Structure 1
Amino acid sequence: MGGSTGSAHVEYSAQMIAEHTEYAFVAESDWFQFDPNYVKPHVFEKEKLSGQRPPLVLDWVVDNTTCDAATKMGSSLCADTNSVCVHVTSGHRCICPTGYEGIPYLIGGCQDINECHYPSLYPCMNNGTCTNTIGGYNCSCPEGTQSDDPKKMPCTPISKKQTPMKVFIGISIGIVFVIVCDFSLLIEYQKRRLAEEKERFFKQNGGPILYQNILSRKNDTVIIFSIEDLKKATNNFDISRELGTGGHGTVYKGILGDNKEVAVKRSKIVSLIHTEEFVQEIIILSQINHKNVIRLLGCCLEVEVPILVYEFIPNGTLFQLIHDNHHTPISLEDRLRIAQESAEALEYLHLSINHPIVHGDVKSLNILLDDNYEAKVTDFGASRMLPRDAVQFMTMVQGTLGYLDPEYLQERKLTVTEKSDVYSFGVVLLELITRKTAIYFQGHEEGINLATSFLQALKDNIVQSMLDASITYHGTEELFQEVAELASQCLSMKGSERPSMTQVADKLKAIRSTCSGILLLKHEETQRLAEQRGTDSVGDLSPSMYWTARNMGLDIETPHVDHAGTTTNML
């Protein structure tokens, strides 16, 4: 190998050439004089080889296989992890890549170069700051200057016009970041506060007591709903889901996750009842099992006023059936049936074992009708759940005006009794036979109390004038007299003089039996008249009687009035 006269220099120059060149040459020792600059790439070629060339230049390899083949066979001599295998004409050899120096054939042979120590070889423009990295280096311009590539392009002063804009952008980004952080913290705070509020209401409303009761298997008939469950079921209590609104709250139609329809009652009035008593009442109400009493399915306790969830009844209220002019008048028999079913429901509540339940708000709006138009009493136990201070008392009076027990109003009693329910039921009975509301209007007169006006008509023996004409016909005079007397007993001013709901239900059952007998006799009489006339006409029956007769299984055709006003029969 070429070298200089000094042995140390010969060894050093040979090592440097081996590391930084891809060839060897043979020359006379006087022809070659080592220069440290030869270690720079291509310096030796330009200065020494561009003129007189050495007589012999040797290419060399460490192995005559390709890099890929050597790697597959595990015969590559590139021992250091940072070394690089390079292809040559007849094989391969190893080098240390840019940024490293040393012997690639030894483990750990390729060491990182600190380029910052060689500014002439690795420049940073305009005396920029050099920072060494593994296998390379970084340059940054002096403060107040900038460059797209400080290693190759000069650093130029930053325009003063750009500084305010950058400051503005920086401040804007900072403000946006602070706002986003504050907003995120606010949302997190509100979530935590809402969770704490839910937990507080849940405890306040007796949730833990009810939950333990369920876990201990003492009660498996009540479900504890979350407010999220009910919001989802009612489309966030959307107005389109409202079934009815009253003085104490709103009832919504809800659809649970299993597509079961429910009625969700969201009350407005806060209860002052003791927690344990409220939980006990919820349990009792959920265990009620009577075909004419609506079932309480569960409740939501993580809101200020507990939300109650009932079974859904599709055909509206008795109030709508009686007083809505769009409905065809129902028969006397069906009215008496609904009255009997409602009376039996109240009887069941009054006689519940160990826990008699006073409804407290009996009215036609609180009697629902199912698919078969059977009565379902709802809102039972409402009186127990209402606060008892004077303001709320007046609210309750306004909400049920026309149905309230006179003793309750006149003597300012703060508790309702079973006999209070009897009075209210008497008003409902009057609604059924007169089709008048509890407070009705007639001509220019102010609101007339139905109970008061009926009792006066009974005293004056003119009850017939108040009855619904669609259910009155020859032969029912005594029947209506019995109904009127029963209603008057229910409406007695003194609770002690009123019958029990058991007595009322038994009396209505007897009246219904009488009604069926009258209808059957009327049918037989009509059939005889038809045979004598040689026709099947049964036009003497009122329209409401046909509904009753057909429901009883009697073979009666439906009357039809043609345009000339002649009554005919249609199948």
Structure 2
Amino acid sequence: MEKMEERIGSVGSDGVGGALNNYNCHSRGGTCDHDKNRQFHCSNAEKGIQSTDNRNSAVGCAVIIIIFVTFIIRHHYKKKYASSNLHGRNRYSDSSRSEVEGGSVYFGVPVFSYSELEEATNNFDLEKELGDGGFGTVYHGKLHDGREVAVKRLYGHNYKRVQQFLNEVEILTRLRHKNLVPLYGCTSRHCRELLLVYEYIPNGTVADHIHGHRATPGSLTWATRMSIAIETASALAYLHASEIIHRDIKTNNILLDNNFCVKVADFGLSRLFPNDVSHVSTAPQGTPGYLDPEYHQCYQLTSKSDVYSFGVVLIELLSSLPAVDIFRNKHEINLANLAINKIQKCAFHELIDPHLGFQSDNVVKTMAILVAELAFRCLQQDKEMRPSMDEVLEALMKIQTGEDVREDQGMAYDDGGILNVQQRASPDHDEVGLLNCKSLQPSSEAITDNWISRSTTPNISG
């Protein structure tokens, strides 16, 4: 019995009980030991506890300091980022507080509040609508100061629309030309809607007057059409000198004031084009019937793309026909194709609007044929064969002033107004390929086959 108790006591000190004692001692930071009688002792326990507490306190303080420093750094950068990138958003995100009032400027032009333009257009009344297209709708409005304006309301508020908005504002603020529509201002890009405010041009577009709802036989005289051609060419030459390609020249984007002076509009597709580069590689954008076929096929945008589009405008002024008409012969749906075919055959009487006096006035006949030849040069498929806009402008001014008398002296016509090729006295035109360029291919018909014939961009006129 005594041996059994001794054994149990031994288990208590060295077995399960000993293990518990060791655990308790170590947890208090002490050192475990036994005396001669095999009794358990725990030494330096309180000192160990104090040492452990000190270490734990140091670690805790370090963690707190790290967390605090991290918070300060993150707060600093977050505040810096917000101030540099979201400065305007805090002002414009809420429409009740966001809109910039009069006197503020954005990209160098006045910023209008949404509410002011909403009031100016009678809450964007449908009766105020001037036109619509691929990028937005344009409304007639009247500001508090009495100015009549055209307000373009861009579709949507996505990244692409913001870029188009900024592109047009940036380009128009750097340009000053009498034949470019003036930009009065805009809303902020952070406003709930993207709105551009232009001078209101009251007399419609060139398209309206030659084959639209304002068109009547002989409504635009030959002299007026020549002035329109020259002023449009002047505006484009200025753009190209300013390293800008319009990229959407068409009669719907050529506005007319009450004196029939030109205002070229709509710069949403325009591109900056440095003079030291040969081309810009970009996906084709524009309007069916006006799009440069080489740009359409090769994705290479140059200033000669505007020249091609202007060539179509010249043909419209000559013929009073629209750039695209699906009811024409299959190979003449594109006006450019029709014109090339007629000019190659020297059948000008089949192309030029008879109401312009082509049959009755030899001066008009001579000038019209010279303009047709110039348009033919602009419509060459190979962009290198096209003249520059400076050359086009110079040629038009010579035609208007009668300096190109040699063509009048060297041309002979039959009773139908067809040029007698054998009596032509200006061989230098052969380089353009007017009479010998049988290899010239018509403009790519894929453009009209694949695209719907509608304006890509609205006009801002009544």
TM norm. shorter chain > 0.5: yes
2:377 to 486, 489, 499: 489
Tell whether 2:222 aligns with 1:332. Answer: yes
| Contact 1:198/1:303 (<8 A) preserved | no
1:244 maps to 2:134: no
| Higher relative contact order (CA closer than 8 Å, sequence separation 6+) | 2
Structure 1 residues 415-494: aligned runs within 5 Å: 416-441=301-326, 448-471=333-356, 472=358, 473-475=360-362, 476-494=364-382
Q: Which residue of the other structure, out of 137, 140, 148, is the alignment partner of 1:253? A: 140
Aligned to 1:285: 172
Q: How far does residue 441 in structure 1 lie from its aligned partner after superposition?
A: 4.8
Alignment of 1:518-533 (within 5 A): none
Q: Does 1:311 align with 2:199?
A: yes
**In the alignment, what sits opposite 1:55?**
none
Distance in 1 between residues matched to 2:171 and 2:318, nearest whole Å: 34
1:344-423 correspondence to structure 2 within 5 Å: 344-352=234-242, 356-384=243-271, 396=285, 400-413=287-300, 416-423=301-308
1:497, CA displacement in angstroms? 2.0
Deviations 1:51-86, CA, capped at 9 Å, x for gaps: xxxxxxxxxxxxxxxxxxxxxxxxxxxxxxxxxxxx
- Which residue of 180, 190, 199 maps to 2:92? 199
Gaps of 5+ in 2: 1-87, 273-281, 407-462
1-structure distance, mates of 2:337, 2:167: 38
Task: Answer yes or no: is the 8 Å Cα contact 1:267–1:307 preserved in 2.
Answer: yes
| Counterpart pick for 2:210 among 319, 322, 327 | 322
Whole-Å separation in 2 of the counterparts to 1:256 and 1:365 = 25
Cα offset, 1:199, TM superposition: 2.6
Matching residue's letter, 1:408:
Y
Deviation, 1:463, is 2.5
1:483-523 superposed Cα distances (whole Å, 9 cap, x missing partner): 111101111112222111111111111111129999xxxxx
Secondary structure in structure 2 of the residue aligned to 1:439: coil
| Amino acid of the structure 2 residue aligned with 1:501 | M
Q: Distance in 1 between matches of 2:208 and 2:202?
A: 12
* Inter-CA distance 316–517: structure 2 relative to 1 (3 Å threshold): farther
Query: Which one-letter code corresponds to 2:384 in the other structure?
Result: S
Paired amino acid for 1:492: Q
Q: Give the 3 Å change call, closer, same or farther, for CA 241–516 of structure 1 in structure 2.
A: farther
Paired with 1:270 and 1:401, the residues of 2 have a C-alpha distance of 26
Q: How many residues align?
A: 300
CA contact under 8 A between 2:254 and 2:264: conserved in structure 1? yes
Distance 1:362 1:506, change over 3 A: same
Q: Calculate the TM-score normalised by the size of structure 1.
A: 0.47
Aligned to 2:153: 266
Structure holding more helix per residue: 2
User: 1:508, 1:489 → 2: CA distance?
Assistant: 13
Per the alignment, do residues 278 and 313 of structure 1 end up closer, same or farther by CA in structure 2, a change over 3 Å counting? closer
Residue type matched to 1:341 in 2? Answer: E
2:232 is matched with: 342
Shift of 1:272: 4.3
Cα distance, 1:294 vs structure 2: 0.4
With over 3 angstroms needed to count, the CA separation of the structure-2 counterparts of 1:517 and 1:462, relative to structure 1, is closer
Q: Is the 8 A contact 1:225 1:300 kept in 2?
A: yes
What SS does the corresponding residue of 1:360 show, helix, strand or coil? Answer: coil
Counterpart residue type for residue 434 of structure 1: S
Q: Secondary structure of 1:338's partner?
A: helix
TM-score computed with the length of structure 2 as normaliser: 0.58
For 1:404 and 1:516, how far apart are their aligned partners in 2?
A: 30
Match of 1:503 among 391, 395, 402: 391
Q: 3-state SS of the aligned residue for 2:207?
A: helix
CA RMSD of aligned residues (A): 3.5
Q: Is the 8 A contact 1:333 1:515 kept in 2?
A: no
State the alpha-carbon separation in 1 of the partners of residues 92 and 403 from structure 2: 57
Cα distance change of structure 1 residues 268 and 198 upon mapping to structure 2, 3 Å threshold? farther
Question: Identity percentage over the alignment?
Answer: 40
Q: Is the 8 A contact 2:162 2:194 kept in 1?
A: no
**Which runs of 5 or more structure 1 residues have no equivalent in the other structure?**
1-194, 386-391, 519-571
What is the letter of the counterpart of residue 368 of structure 2?
F
> What secondary structure sits across from 2:402 in the alignment?
helix
Tell me if the contact between 1:266 and 1:308 (Cα under 8 Å) persists in the aligned partners: yes
